[in-house]
Amino acid sequence: MIYRTIHNRRIFLSLSTLAVIASIGALFFWGLNFGIDFTGGSLLEVNFQGYQPSVLEIQDSLKETGLNNLVIQPTENSVILRFKDSTEETHQAIVKSLQGLADGQEGASFKELQFDSVGPSIGQELKSKSFNATVIVLIMIIVYISIGFRKVSKPVASWKYGVAAIIALIHDIVITLGVFSVLGHFYGTEINTSFIAAILTVLGYSINDTIIVFDRIRENLPKSQEDFENTVNRSVNQTMARSINTSFSSVLALLAVLFFGGATIKDFALVLVVGILIGTYSSIFIASPVLVIWDKLSRKRQ
């Protein structure tokens, strides 16, 4: 059965346009909840044995330290504290206060698992480098696709395949950022360096899906008796099942990590789940329709 995916492109493009507008609106009004990796501050992970204090007890024990923007995140085996201060004096004062909680309970023990501190200047540098890394990746993708499709000149020039792929990737990035803007506003989900790593992974995954569709178009064009629109539609249908099945199996594995993995990797897995789902959609319903629209516009000008 041949689905008229490309012929119904207005529906899919309209849905994507609404999603992009909503994402931009969320980013404009709420922004992103940057973690200490970008804003500067400290992360302390501790473990209590024989006694698990409540969040309120920890807050009360740390009142005298005068911490700014303290966030307490209990996990299955530890407690993670995030705060703006990054001095060693503050670090030691916190450890002493938490040790006091354990000392007040019979048979309880306290252990510091990790402490990371990031200065504001380093955070700004990370923001800049993350943005530059993403831009460089996008540029290299255009160059790579342009070279790989250099022998495809009709009816759409090879470089247009690269631009169509980038439009799909920008669609993926904006919607993913919009989703995490909402999660950050309502659930406190933070943007950190693992988020950037996940975004770059999503870009690679999404472009791989898109190139598979484009490669099938390239194979079908020389032998097709149909016009460009129908050739692209047939190519999308030939690769759709593979794309969906591959993404579904990847998402299943990531969901296992998300629900059963450690706290430190859950945000990374969540970005991948959201990004892969959106990337699969864009590879099928955004990148290829853009090529067809570009071809039709070129014909109208001629």
- pLDDT tens, residue by residue, 120-141: 666 677 778 878 888 888 888 8
**Burial (CB count <10 Å: 0-12, 13-18, 19+), residue 134:** middle
Q: Name the one residue in this structure whose structure tokens are 């990374």.
A: 268
Which pair of tokens denotes residue 302?
């001629």
The pLDDT score that the predictor gives to residue 181 is 95
For the residues 75-92, what does the mean pLDDT come to?
80
Of 76, 67, 30, the C-alpha closest to 177 is 30
pTM, 2 dp: 0.81
H or E element in which residue 244 lies: helix 228-260
Which pair of tokens denotes residue 81?
């504290």
The pLDDT score that the predictor gives to residue 151 is 67
Determine the Cα–Cα distance for residues 246 and 206; give it in Å rounded to an integer: 11
How are beta strands 109-118 and 41-49 bridged, if at all? antiparallel
Mean pLDDT taken over the chain: 85
Q: Which domains, ranges and CATH numbers included, belong to the chain? A: 9-36+121-301 (1.20.1640.10), 41-118 (3.30.70.260)
Determine the Cα–Cα distance for residues 219 and 286; give it in Å rounded to an integer: 20
Q: Name the one residue in this structure whose structure tokens are 């698990």.
A: 52
List 73's β-bridge partners, or say none.
Answer: 80
DSSP 62: T
**Tally of CA atoms within 13 A in the half-sphere of 46 that contains its CB:** 24
